[in-house]
Structure 1
Amino acid sequence: MKRIFLSLTILLMSFAVMAQSKQSLTGAYLAKDGNVNHLWLFVDGYSSYIQYEDNKYLSTWGGPFSEGTNGIQVQVEYNDAKPDEIGKAKETNAKANADGITMGNLNFKKQVANKQDLDGLWRITGRKQDNKMSEIPRGDRKTIKILVDGYFQWIAINPAEKGFYGTGGGTYTFTNKKYTEKILFFSRDNSRVGAELSFDGEIKDAQWHHSGLSSKGVPIYEIWSRDNK
């Protein structure tokens, strides 16, 4: 009995150590390969992988993720470079470590933690048009926004139809009800890279009220709701 008890104790201690040493993937990770930036965002069980040069968007893919013995697995909801992967599980063979993530010859460095109240996975659920707020029903087509540790990305997609309608992202700050973006990539217009946009932002009843002028100078008022996977 003592041997059985000792074995169980050792086993439980081993599990405890493994649980403590397991790195949380939540955060922003960045790797460089020549002129190409590889940015990987993880939050609320969702991930997005973006490739871009300093003044040129390249591609993005992502979806809900999990960790297994073969590394990080992503259930792909969008991939503008390889739409055939949409709806399938993507085995990345990427492994988390103390400093970040290793995948093949890429070493992703975890960016400095910069938690803000807007961090999370969001989905647009309302938009003001003709001075009237209209609800955007949840369906196959959606626009989501990922914010984590000072980085953001929005993606307009329809996984059911393997549709991809655009993306953009970069870094952000949210202080004193002011939300400011600096664009690092924009699939629709590379000339927008480097631009800074400032908006009014406020969380009301767990919804993000976002208003100001769009990148084209058009007034906007949007409501975003958390879309945890």
Structure 2
Amino acid sequence: MKLKQFALLLCCSVVFLAMKSKAPIPAEASLNGAWSASHEGQQFSLLLQDGYCMFTHYDLAGKKFMMTSGGPYTVDNGKINVMVQFNSADKSDVGKEHAYAFQLSGDDLSTTVDGFEIKWKRVDEGDKNLAGNWRIIKRRQGDQMNDIPLRARRTLKLLTGTRFQWAAINIETGEFSGTGGGTYSFKDGKYTENIEFFSRDGSRVGMSLTFDGQLENGNWIHSGKSSKGDPIYEIWGRMK
């Protein structure tokens, strides 16, 4: 199978959805956390946290972003049910719901798209650091902090125990404005991102950015400089 065809199958079916289970999934089994897979030197990232998922296909060595998709999900009777809120390769998929079965065995997750099996390995269990689904609720502009109400156009940042991905999307129009992601650490008030993919500018892949960070009243206060060097001061809250 050609890689282009492979990626298209992943995109259209939101790759991680698939495959009928041979046995019921135990109630205690959890998909939370980060999962990774590779094919012909290219990478696939799957983040599942706080009922939200993001899937991304990228080429780390070539610094190329291929596509991403995601949205809220639930697990019921051995199936993952996903409501697509963004798809960078196919905006017509936004608003559609997909229900698929899967196989989970320890730290191994198997999915199949049109007979093509993908084997994922667990990266982390999404149980520490800043793990959660976050959105910007306030941003400083000049000397003033401005509220950012929840609207159809939004910026989300999904974090597991070790990986992150942000996405700027419009869940009504299907407009996709950009994404980036990779690994992160949060220790002693310092939040550091290591960029592995960036849809707007591949030259930023490999960069590490460090910010001041703290949790206060359940919110995440995030300040420092962006990848462009612009000062930022943001307050992020968990999606309800």
Smaller-chain TM-score bracket: 0.7 to 0.9
1:50 match:
56
Task: Give the corresponding residue for 2:8.
Answer: none
Q: Does residue 35 of structure 2 align to residue 23 of structure 1? A: no
Letter in 2 for 1:56: K
Q: Which residue number corresponds to residue 3 of structure 1?
A: none
Matched to 1:162, the amino acid is G
RMSD across aligned positions (CA): 1.8
Instruction: After TM superposition, list the pairs within 5 Å mapping 1:1-229 onto structure 2.
Output: 18-19=26-27, 22-54=28-60, 55-69=63-77, 71-104=79-112, 105-113=117-125, 115-228=127-240
CA distance in 2, matches of 1:83, 1:169: 21
TM-score normalised per structure 1: 0.87
- 1:92 touches 1:103 (CA, 8 Å); kept in 2? no
Classify 1:40/1:88 alpha carbon distance in 2 versus 1 (closer, same or farther; 3 Å): same
- Retained in 2: the 8 A contact 1:115–1:150? no
Moved more, 56-65 or 68-77: 68-77
User: Do 1:94 and 1:101's aligned partners in 2 also have CA atoms closer than 8 Å?
Assistant: yes
**Greater CA radius of gyration, 1 or 2?**
1
Q: For 1:220, give the aligned amino acid.
A: I
Q: CA deviation at 1:41?
A: 0.4
- The structure with the largest helix share of the pair is 1
Q: Closer, same or farther in 2 for the Cα pair 1:114/1:64, shift >3 Å?
A: closer
Greater Cα shift, 72-81 or 91-100 = 91-100
For 2:50 and 2:94, how far apart are their aligned partners in 1?
Answer: 20
Normalised to the residue count of structure 2, the TM-score between the two structures is: 0.83
Q: Distance in 1 between the 2:190 and 2:31 partners?
A: 28
The unaligned stretches of length 5 or more in structure 2 are 1-23
Q: Identity of aligned pairs, percent?
A: 41
Tell me the distance in 2 between the aligned counterparts of 1:139 and 1:108. Answer: 33
How far did residue 89 of structure 1 move?
A: 0.8
Q: In the aligned structure 2, how far is the partner of 1:191 from the partner of 1:95?
A: 37
